[in-house]
Amino acid sequence: MVYQCLLKTFIILRSLNCKRAAEVAFQLLDIFFLLGAPANLQNDNGSESAAHVITQLKQFLPQLKLVYSKHRHPKSQVSVERANADIKDILVAWMSDNNPQGEIVGLEFVQQQKNCALYARINRTLYKAMFGEDPKVGLTWSSLPSEILERLQSEDDLQAALQPPLSTNTESISDEVDVQI
């Protein structure tokens, strides 16, 4: 399933076992809870399929009110079809390099690659257009100096690096990282 914000062209990819309305609705709920529900939802599977999905969504979100778009609106359809072609090409290339990992894992990498590519038209990545900042990967986004990041091997090393120096400076950067696994 390809979910695309037509305003910012940001995409979210989901693997579906089938195209049943309940499964599509479940995946859409996950996206809506993450990004918020759109006012307008387009579907290229026809209005009957969309009606079943909306019925399923309204079981969980009775206040949900979506406006149906014109089916196959030319301007938005070109963007969706171009994205679908790109996604297919990137996924095929990823699968040929990483076949043992499987298609489901590949979708995550394709989604990241597509959303983190620089788009000349907007002079930024889709990720930055959507969230206003570059994606954060690992500790590379931290304000810790690179020489400290290179030495980190364990949680103890990270805790030590986050401790304020023993001086009169009482400011701490320890709130930068709080991850539990």
- Residue 175 confidence (pLDDT): 44
Does residue 59 or residue 49 have the better pLDDT?
59
Token duo for residue 38: 């759109």
DSSP for 49-105 reads: HHHHHHHHHHHH-TT---EEPPTT-HHHHHHHHHHHHHHHHHHHHHHHHHGGG-HHH
| CB atoms inside a 10 Å sphere around CB 94 | 19
- Residue 139 confidence (pLDDT): 65
- Residue 128 confidence (pLDDT): 92
pLDDT at 170 over 60: no
Provide the pairing of β-strand 67-68 with 40-41.
Answer: parallel
Tell me how far apart the alpha carbons of residues 33 and 61 are, in angstroms, rounded to a whole number: 11
Nearest Cα residue to 112 out of 144, 90, 140: 90
Residue 31: pLDDT band (50, 70, 90) is: very high
The length of the chain in residues reads: 181
pLDDT at 71 over 70: no
Residue 30: pLDDT band (50, 70, 90) is: very high
pLDDT at 172 over 60: no
Domains of the chain by start residue, with CATH? 2-131 (3.30.420.10), 139-165 (no CATH)
Percent of the chain with pLDDT over 90: 8
Digit-coded pLDDT (tens) for 125-149: 989 988 898 887 766 666 777 788 7
Nearest Cα residue to 42 out of 67, 22, 16, 20: 67
